[in-house]
Amino acid sequence: MAETAGHGGGHSPLAQFEIHQIVPIKIGGVDVSFTNSSLLMVIAVALATLFLMLGMRRGALVPGRWQSAAEVTYEFVAGLFRETVGQEGRRFFPFVFTLFLFILFGNMLGLMPYSFTFTSHIIVTFALAAVVFVGVTIVGFAKHGLRFFTFFVPPGAPILMWPLLIPIEVISYLSRPISLSVRLFANILAGHTLLKVIAGFVAVLGVAGVLPLAVVVALTGLEMLIAFLQAYVFAILTCLYLNDALHLH
């Protein structure tokens, strides 16, 4: 019993976050193995692609169930994008839509039993947030050139205050990728840990285990909401940052 627990044999609530190598690959001393995290990412991309490709295969005027689902998803993100960024950022929409679907499928797939949630690792969410951050900054510079730096000067502030206010604004700007990644990662990590901890009570309590079982059922529903909500928040924040870069203030 103790041995299996020691090997993370499903007894620790944190065992679900362990990374396993599936295909060990080493390039130039760097470990780039194909892991369970990579596998789930590939599955998420494949499922998202299948969902849209098969859903829109017929492109019927009166959509069927599957096509409706694909259209509703598209409409949802398109509406979100339209009301936060507007027309001039239109060419960045595919990026936001892809990001939303990737995170949504990652979160949802993580709720399947025996699966793995790649969004529960800070390095994954931070990489996503860093791409958004660097991309948005490049867009800002491409659109406004050096005038982008006026972004950090609060309008109407006296020049005397600038040496104090500009570092604060810059720090606030630099904190974006951190808050963006930590929010997604921590929500997913906390939710999944809580699920496992409460599920652990079910077997231990015997007949009274019905109670934690009911809680787990309710929590799974809540987790689905959070899985969706966090993908939504990530997408809407990307939109808002993009809007900032396009319009400055």
Among 5, 112, 168, 205, binds another protein (CB under 8 A): 168
Nearer to another protein, 26 or 249 (CB): 249
In the complex, the smallest distance separating the C-beta of residue 178 from another protein, rounded to whole angstroms, is: 4
Does 233 bind another protein (CB under 8 A)? Our answer is: yes
Q: Is 243 in the site for another protein (CB under 8 A)?
A: yes
**Burial zone of 133 (CB within 10 Å; 0-12 exposed, 13-18 middle, 19+ buried):** buried
Of 25, 127, 171, 211, the one binding another protein by CB under 8 A: 171
Give 190's contacts (C-beta < 8 A, 6+ positions apart): none
Between helix 176-204 and helix 122-144 the angle, nearest 10°, is 160
Task: Determine, following the binding rule CB under 8 A, whether residue 175 of this chain makes contact with another protein.
Answer: yes
Q: What are phi and psi of 152, to 5 degrees?
A: -90, 0
**Burial (CB count <10 Å: 0-12, 13-18, 19+), residue 182:** middle
* Cβ 71 vs Cβ 57: under 8 Å: no
- Interacting stretch for another protein, rule CB under 8 A, among 19-27, 90-98, 113-121, 165-173? 165-173
When binding is defined by CB under 8 A, the residue of 155, 158, 206, 217 that contacts another protein is 155
Candidates 10, 64, 167, 221: give the one binding another protein (CB under 8 A).
167
Nearest-Å Rg of the Cα atoms of the chain is 22
Site for another protein in 77-96 (CB under 8 A): 79, 82-84, 86
SS3 6: helix
| CB closer to another protein, 40 vs 136 | 136
Residue 26 touching another protein (CB under 8 A): no
Per residue, the 3-state secondary structure of 176-214, as one string, reads HHHHHHHHHHHHHHHHHHHHHHHHHHHHHCHHHHHHHHH
| Binding flag, residue 240, another protein (CB under 8 A) | yes
Q: Can you give the binding site for another protein, defined by CB under 8 A?
A: 62, 79, 82-84, 86, 151-152, 154-155, 167-169, 171-176, 178-179, 182-183, 186-187, 229, 232-233, 236-237, 240-241, 243-244, 247-249
